[in-house]
Amino acid sequence: MLGARFDSLFSIAAGTSRDPFPYQRQLATEPALPIVLNVPTGAGKTAAVIAAWIWRRHVDPQSTPRRLVYALPMRVLVEQTAATAREMLQRLGLLYEGPPDPSKPGIRVAILMGGRVDEAWWLEPEREAILVGTVDMLVSRALNRGYALSRYRWPVDFGLLNSDVLWVFDEVQLLGVSLYTSLQLQGLRRLLGTYGPTHTLWCSATVDLAALETVDHPAPEPHRILTLGPEDRRHPVLQPRLSARKVVRRLQLGRGSRRADRPSDTALARAILDAHRPGTRTLVVVNTVDRAQRLYAELHSITKGTAAPEVGLLHSRFRPADRVARQQQFLGNVPQDGPGQILVTTQVVEAGVDVSSATLFTEVAPWESVVQRLGRCNRYGEVVDGAQVFWVDVSDREAAPYEAEALQAARHLLAEMEGASASPQALEGIRPHAARSPVVVTGHVLRRRDLVGLFDTTPDLTGQHLDVSRFIREGADLDVFLYWREWPVGQQPPRQLPSPVRSELCPVPVYEARKMLQEGHRQAWLWDPLAESGQGGWVVARPADIRPGQVLLLHTSQGGYQLETGWTPESREPVPVVTVDGKPSPSSLSGSPQEPADSDEGVTTPERWVTLVDHTRDVIDETEALLASLGAAGIGQDEARVLRVAAAYHDVGKAHEQFQLPLIEAAQEAEREMRARELWAKAPSLGQRRRRPFRHELASALALLQSPPPDLDGELLDLAAFLVAAHHGKVRLVIRSLPTEELPSDGRRHALGIYEGDSLGPVHIAGAVSIDRLTLDLSLMEIGLSGADGTSRRSWTDRMVALRDSARWGPFRLAFLEALLRVADVRASLREKES
């Protein structure tokens, strides 16, 4: 079927009998992908992008990235876009939704946003996938600081989201500083090198071409900008959408109906009810969640107990489970024989939400946002006699979250349109005067030195990391994620509290979370992976501790949330816990933010004993399978050889007595002597280690450097050692002891449970590893040192930084190889767990 013409594929995928619009065909069939897709709202660009990627993957997989990453500025868009992708793939018979199994064909669709992160995608780097998520979730991962993700998983997502990937940034006018970060990332990928093809496509109905140039990314050439052509404008389906009539008027209210330079909530609510047409939807878009909640309450109060239209509220501060329920309730078709619906919302509807209204009320906003809101009125030309648009002025004092200058520019243009139609066709070419344009973001542009610095995930001495929020959102537009649970009041949360269910995380602005704690009326908790000697534990969150992307726990009695209104800080009502099948459910494979520093991936702990030889063989097999499937990613023979060596050596450090003895002691007494005759990689119980934290992968890397295979040396040996040390994300560029470690009594060098002079081995795995007994040498953790035998040796950090800064490897390629070994190890462990 896929061998047929693109038109046939598109018609099937889109579920329509029509051929694609000419621009949609051009996007799929031109020799090179454009850099900018500039088409009006309602012109089908989501379907165009997905169908074009599917087609290109079929006809030219060598040049078309394996992963399509769809980055969106609003959460409400994510489920909608993911649903579109699933429906298109389902119609084509290409959708795969099962557990990780690379032997089964199909394309996976995964969601990555606050409160919901589908995790199976990263375990199948060889599978074609469409990843749909919010800009903050995706860009933070591309910067090696993934929000709401275990710090030890950061490098995996960093590697997979910067190689063999097509990024699509939709509605770029809403991206803020993320736009410049996305441009710089694409420029740095070209500069530093990746595996497989990479490309970025920026989409919008109101794109500012001048903003698409940064220090490392040139402005797009005219022939790389795709927009509507004459044939598109004459198309019988597209033409009515482009000319759909919607008359713009300023909302005029009588004397005494204003408060603080804007209409009072009561006066505005009554004006909305007066303008509403039965059997239709009236959409009301305001600029802040607080105003949306107040207006909703006023409308709800006025219409209560009458045969009035249904009133709904939708904004970004709902828990995902509650938000999805509201979207299903309020974004469907409105019965024409009923009283209709009034939906109060915020900017969440600006970016491509597939909803249309017969009447639109909007507060004045930056012109780009106004154009997007107009696109949710008479979207498909379905209101034959024309729709109504009323704009509501706000004072400069209430301009936030926008700049007053941007509102003034939009106010001027709206006044000029009084009584005229704001169809997409009429809006083309209308731009604010330069003097009235929004302030251009000029600070916090990601540079090469910033990205290189972010490659290292070693925390500082206080356990903190570099904050990437300045590269993702401006000012107050940054979120933390709250969830509510029950435990005995007055006590500390139990350490065994299950990790948060994805659907229970409520996004809240950082400044509001800090304010909540500063007022002293509520207490929130943060998970500290270094607490309790590396076992992890809960600590009380202080306002100064709050940073974007964190996950905070509150007791249900603390309030702050209501099912009907979402995040409501003034509410003191107990918050119901989100449940799955009647009980909270822990997160799955992601590596929870609650993961202790001293842990391996506990989710992969089997219920049986697995020898070191068997596990190593399983990881080698998984590595070979990955290499066989990833030929198009450009992995060379040297990299393949290094990955094979790393797979063979990755768990050699488990031969250390500090790993083996706790396993044996945890066994049944009758079988301990028998178990002690083997080297084990996995066991039903890991036992209590004497030295915490003990990192077996550090011992593995030292053993590889001290007893390498005969055909590996120099830079390739250093690369193999890096992959071995990094395969749990806890030892990468720096070897450093932790403040919670038990110190050796004789003052020897020590780091992560390894003491200078520790004995390791023998370890023999036929055809892969042959190590006799070794004395581990930690002199590599020093800077500018000589070896234990008096010879000059380069430090660990010197070797690893040289790899990171090498033109041959660089941060993106290193992280991609790191991700492959991590994937092979986890897949092998899952197979052992299931067998």
List, for residues 469-519, the tens digit of each pLDDT value: 888 876 555 788 899 999 998 888 988 788 787 678 898 988 889 988 887
CATH 3.90.230.10 fits 244-422, yes or no: no
Task: Say what the pTM is.
Answer: 0.82
In order, the DSSP letters of 413-436 are HHHHTTTSB--HHHHTT----GGG
Residue 766 pLDDT = 86
Is the pLDDT at 586 greater than 50? The verdict is: no
Q: Which of 187-196, 326-335, 579-588 has the lowest mean pLDDT?
A: 579-588
More confident residue, 441 or 328: 328
Contact in structure between 27 and 16 (CB atoms under 8 Å): no
Mean pLDDT over 379-403 rounds to 88
Please tell me the CATH code under which domain 602-834 is placed.
1.10.3210
Nearest to 18 by CA among 26, 8, 27, 28: 8
- Please tell me the predicted confidence (pLDDT) of residue 691: 83
pLDDT, tens digit (0-9, with 9 covering 90-100), for 782-795: 876 655 555 567 89
Encoded amino acid at 666, one letter:
A
The predicted pLDDT at position 520 comes to 73
d(C-alpha 686, C-alpha 526), whole Å:
26
Sequence-ordered list of residues with C-beta below 8 angstroms from that of 51, at least 6 positions apart, any chain? 6, 9, 10, 13, 14, 20, 24, 28, 88
Residue 59 is predicted with a pLDDT of 93
CB 282 within 8 A of CB 343: yes
Where do the domains of the chain lie? 11-238, 244-422, 478-595, 602-834
Q: Is the Cβ–Cβ distance between 285 and 363 less than 8 Å?
A: yes
Same fold across 11-238 and 602-834: no
* 390 pLDDT more than 60: yes
Cβ atoms of 162 and 819 within 8 Å: the answer is no
Q: Cβ neighbours of residue 136 under 8 Å, at least 6 residues apart?
A: 114, 147, 178, 472, 473, 478, 479, 548, 549
- Bridge partner residues of 562 (DSSP): 566
CB 264 within 8 A of CB 394: no
Question: What phi, psi does 744 have (nearest 5°)?
Answer: -65, 145
Look at residue 734 and tell me whether its pLDDT is greater than 80: yes
Mean pLDDT of 655-684: 91
First CA to last CA distance, the chain: 37
- Give the model confidence (pLDDT) of 115-173 as tens digits: 567 788 999 999 999 999 989 899 999 999 988 788 899 999 999 999 999 999 988 87
- Could you read off the pLDDT of 252-284 as tens digits, one per residue? 876 555 554 567 889 999 999 999 999 999 999
Tokens 């994620």 map to which residue?
A: 481
Domain 11-238, CATH: 3.40.50.300
Q: Provide the pLDDT for residue 272.
A: 95
Could you tell me the pLDDT band of residue 591, with boundaries at 50, 70 and 90? very low
Q: In the structure, what pLDDT confidence band is assigned to residue 433 with cuts at 50, 70 and 90?
A: low
User: Is a pLDDT exceeding 60 seen at residue 214?
Assistant: yes
pLDDT digits (tens, 9 = 90+) for 73-106: 877 788 889 999 999 999 999 999 999 999 999 9
Which residue is listed with tokens 């084990």? 680
Q: Decide if pLDDT at 311 tops 70.
A: yes
What is the structure's pLDDT at 533?
61
Question: In the predicted model, what is the mean pLDDT of the chain?
Answer: 87
Q: Between 612-629 and 810-834, two packed helices, what is the crossing angle to 10 degrees? A: 130
Tokens of 831: 């197979």
CA–CA distance, 114 with 57 (Å, rounded to integer): 29
Q: Which pLDDT tens digit goes with each residue over 41-54?
A: 778 899 999 999 99
For the record, the structure tokens of 680 come out as: 């084990």
Residue 627's φ and ψ, nearest 5 degrees, are -65, -35
Check residue 42 and give left, alpha or beta (phi > 0: left; psi -120 to 50: alpha).
left
Q: 359: helix, coil or strand?
A: strand
- In whole angstroms, what separates CA 54 from the centre of its chain? 22
| Enclosing H/E stretch for 198 | strand 198-204
Higher pLDDT, 26 or 534: 26
What is the arithmetic mean of pLDDT over 808-821? Answer: 97
Strand-pair category, 610-611 with 680-682: antiparallel
Per-residue pLDDT at 441: 45
